[in-house]
Chain A
């Protein structure tokens, strides 16, 4: 199977430039990078993609078995890196993708030069001596929210979301589709994301790492950012004056500047 079309890979920026691989998190797709990608592409070879099951990826390649574990998403990353023969990859992972990047770098260590983690959390659920910010019941509520909002989307949006490049008129109907996912797929991604515990993997990181957090983030609160920073030896922690979980949308200039600064100075 062609990995590039399976994962809807898009490439911009100077050919031969240092590679920035942008990985979206749970919720939406590579459109999350739209405000920062043009700036990054001025000096980097920017590679974006959708995980199988998200955005315009090939839904027929999705299986619960593979994507019910973060390792399945990490395999997507490694397969993209190998298919495009990317080297010295600066991996930018948003939200759960920050930890997916840790797993991918451990699986293919010779491909990755650095990790940039935006709003990372290795464990969302509170445990003994650890505060992730959520309880198991909170995650059930999220699943409810997902289901409540698929009533209108699942049937009507599915054919549009599955990708109709030959029918551009459907573009008009794309409202909300950036974040629309097949309910079964979203449920699995949500569970996999919010029930994961990858705290033990942080110690495997051996490349220069930037932890980029927001000053006000309910999903990845500052104490989680501090935990990740402490668990990855030699990592750098940068706190953006931004609210919410998506600084690449709410504070794109500062986010892009932090990425350029870190990825441009180290390799």
Chain B
């Protein structure tokens, strides 16, 4: 037996036959038919753009007859006016330079004035000598794709605008914060006869108001008051307490310059606020300077603040302890103790906030600490308050991101070569 046709024992043969039939049908689909009814637009133009050939698909899309297009219109005539400029300034030069160009988004104008968003690709056909003969162009309907892309473009524009707005707002906020921050600090330190004063404020975050503060101001003809401190927390609420603290201390000092009395007044004011539900407190050192002869007497009191450091002319550096001073504002009554010292030529009193001593240094992120600060101070040439602050500013900068808190520095020193402004200029 030699079965010719499909038998029940060869089911796969049956399949092969139906596939054959499909292939046959495909082969009968002539190249011309494929060209005319392809799911994309085809057109061929002369080098000047005159349309020489166009398929039925594209004519249908455009709503035009072959007669009104072939030999009568140029490819550019099918584009929108803006698209024509784009064609002449980008598409045509690129096609000329490269011999081909693909996937360019252009809008075609239909006969009824509508738009056909398309993706256009072209190649230049050349003769055997390489001279360009004609341009073959394929046009894909990109309507759905284009609306999606326009959606993306719109979103991108919105995002760009939002980013611009955010950057603008941020710059404005930073500017406002900088102004506000500087209003919490004296614009310049007043001159104190026979003394040199220097300060520095290190901001870790320009986006947030810091809570550190300091001041130096005259009490009467012979004495000056100073303070430096730190309100817990950051931001506008902390800044409000900083402002309150600063003006309270200034007013209290004029009323009674005794350091313990000034801190007690501040404690009363801050505690009232604390008890009202704003649990903010501060630590501060408040003191009075009294130049006497070529020395300066210092009396200061501390409320929970790191002790002042006294740098002596001979290279010693010692903390001036004020034991028992409580955080200012948390209790209705708080005990403060005062301490005294005398600064001679070459001595400097240094006040600082704990951003300095609590900086994290080295690979192990260890606390910088009181001991290291004292050792650093001992190694400094004791040439004056400004030099001390300059050296410490350099130290702060060297901490890099290990310094995560704002830091205030105030140095009050007696220069070794004291000027005598009272004597005036010799005549």
Contacts and interface: CB of A to CB of B under 8 A. Distances in A.
A28 B94 CA distance: 8
B92 A246 contact: yes
B319 interface: no
A138 B82 contact: yes
B152 A249 contact: no
A138 B316 CA distance: 81
Contacts of A4: none
A219 B85 contact: yes
Nearest to A174: B98
Nearest to B100: A175
B427 interface: no
Nearest to A133: B81
A147 B49 CA distance: 24
A140 B80 CA distance: 11
Interface stretch (A74-82, A148-156, A200-208): A148-156
A149 B90 contact: yes
A26 B85 CA distance: 10
A219 B92 CA distance: 13
Given A179-B90, A246-B96, 12 more contacts: A31-B97, A141-B81, A141-B82, A176-B98, A179-B89, A194-B85, A218-B76, A244-B48, A244-B49, A245-B88, A249-B96, A250-B96
12 contacts: A27-B90, A134-B85, A140-B82, A148-B153, A149-B105, A151-B152, A176-B94, A178-B93, A245-B88, A249-B96, A249-B97, A250-B92
Contacts of A95: 89
Most buried by A among B74, B89, B150, B152: B89
B153 to A, nearest CB: 6
Given A27-B89, A244-B92, A246-B92, A151 B83 contact: no
B85 A142 contact: yes
The 6 A-B pairs with the shortest beta carbon distances in the complex, nearest first, are A141-B82, A27-B89, A138-B81, A142-B82, A243-B48, A148-B105
Interface of A: 25-28, 31-32, 34, 95, 134-135, 137-149, 151-152, 175-176, 178-179, 194, 216-219, 243-246, 249-250
Contacts of B104: 149
Interface string B159-203: 000000000000000000000000000000000000000000000
B6 interface: no
Contacts of A216: 48
Contact of A149 (B86, B97, B98, B152): B86
Interface residues of B, number: 32
Contacts of A27: 89-90, 93
B111 to A, nearest CB: 18
A26 B93 CA distance: 12
B107 interface: yes
Interface in B98-116: 98, 101, 103-107
B223 interface: no
B85 A179 contact: no
Contact of A139 (B82, B90, B94): B82
A176 B95 CA distance: 9
A53 B60 CA distance: 41
B84 interface: yes
Nearest to B150: A148
Interface of B: 47-49, 74, 76, 80-86, 88-90, 92-94, 96-98, 101, 103-107, 146, 149-150, 152-153
A176 to B, nearest CB: 6
Contacts of B152: 151
B93 A32 contact: yes
A219 B88 CA distance: 8
A145 B153 CA distance: 12
Contacts of A31: 97
Given A243-B48, A246-B96, A249-B96, A218 B88 contact: yes
Given A244-B49, A245-B88, A151 B97 contact: no
Given A151-B153, A176-B101, A219-B88, A144 B82 contact: yes
A25 B85 CA distance: 12
Nearest to B91: A179
Contacts of B107: 141, 144-145
Contacts of A141: 80-83, 107
Contacts of A151: 105, 149, 152-153
B49 A243 contact: yes
Contacts of B49: 243-244
A145 B118 CA distance: 11
Contacts of A32: 93
Contacts of A175: 98
A194 B150 CA distance: 23
Contacts of B47: 243, 250
Nearest to B98: A175
B98 to A, nearest CB: 6
A145 to B, nearest CB: 4
Contacts of A28: 89-90, 93-94
**Most central of B47, B86, B107 by chain A CB within 10 Å:** B86
A82 to B, nearest CB: 29
Given A176-B94, A244-B49, A146 B86 contact: yes
A175 B96 CA distance: 12
Contacts of B88: 217-219, 244-246
A145 B93 contact: no
B94 A178 contact: yes
A147 B157 CA distance: 11
A178 B83 CA distance: 19
Contact of B81 (A34, A134, A152, A178): A134
B198 to A, nearest CB: 40
A152 B119 CA distance: 12
Contacts of A178: 93-94, 97
